[in-house]
Structure formats: C-alpha cells, structure tokens
Amino acid sequence: MHRLGTACLLALASCSNPDQPSASAGKLGESAAEASTLIFEPERITFSDIETNDLFGVGCGFAAGTGMSVVLMTMPEHAYMKLDGRIEQFAADRGSAKLPFGTWGAYRNDAYSVKLSQPTDQGKPAGYEVTSWRGSMRVLDQDGRIVYDETGTLQCGS
C-alpha cells in the first residue's frame, strides 16, 4: 500500500516541464521589502532523488501552479525540499494543523519554515488511495520574510 501511494507521488514528480519557471520567480522584487530578498526557488524532486534519499512512504507532495513537478514532499515526521541541488529536511511542526495521512500544515529547519494550506474539502480521488486538493505553499526565511508563495496541487496517498 505504501509503495502504491508513493508510486502516484512519483508519477507526479516525474511529469514536469523543467524549463517552465514558477510564478514566484516574478513576484520577488515587486516591492521594496521584497527587493532585498534573495530569489528562493525550490527544485523539482525527481524519482532519482526519492530513491537516493529513501523518501518512500505515506505522505503528500506539493506541485506549484498547474504543473506536475513536486517541489515539496511531506511525511508524518519530516518534509523534504530540493534546494541548490540538495534534498533539505524539515521537521514537522506538531503544533500546526493536521493534514491528511498524518502530515502537518507546517515544517521547519534552521533556515526556513514551510506552511501548507489545509484542504477544506474531501478532495478528488487521483488513483487508488490517493487524493488531490488545490492548496498553497508558503516559505518564510528565518527573519519571517516570505520567500516563496504559490498555489498548486497537494496530492496525498499511502
């Protein structure tokens, strides 16, 4: 069962257009407050990344915009994001909202905190034991500045 849900997330991760920039890339620098913020662009988590880092299991994947490139994988204990070619780990914030499949609405590490919108409906089945919702992901730096803010698809499965 766990492998099947992961396979659906892997399918989402492997279908992408790496040349398509995220909408957040154009948002930064639009105001004086954002002008000093470095561009933060999470990279697509590939099947190779999942295998190399043993990211199999129950959880959710977030793909920005209308794309299918997973940029965040969440699990009950940790979340994972690829930055500068490396998979970064984030600890679950157990004080945040509970999301499907034992995942959480917030995760953090020493440099960033990640917040996911909580699905407000039952979602749409996207395969055996997989459900999709419209959602959003916001990343804040250690000073609380928004460095990434996107809507997209949150897909969870076991």
Residue type, 91: A
- Report pLDDT for 124: 87
Let me know: does 55 contact 83? Beta carbons within 8 Å.
no
Let me know: does 135 contact 119? Beta carbons within 8 Å.
yes
Q: What is the pLDDT of residues 45-88, one digit of tens each?
A: 999 999 999 999 999 999 999 988 999 999 999 999 999 999 99
Let me know: does 138 contact 96? Beta carbons within 8 Å.
no
- Report pLDDT for 38: 60
What burial class does residue 148 get, using C-beta atoms within 10 Å of its C-beta: 0-12 exposed, 13-18 middle, 19+ buried? buried
Give the total number of structural domains in the chain: 1
Domain extent, residue 119, equals 2-157
Q: Of all helices (H) and strands (E), which one includes residue 14?
A: helix 2-14
The structure's pTM equals 0.77
The answer to whether residue 24 scores a pLDDT higher than 80 is: no
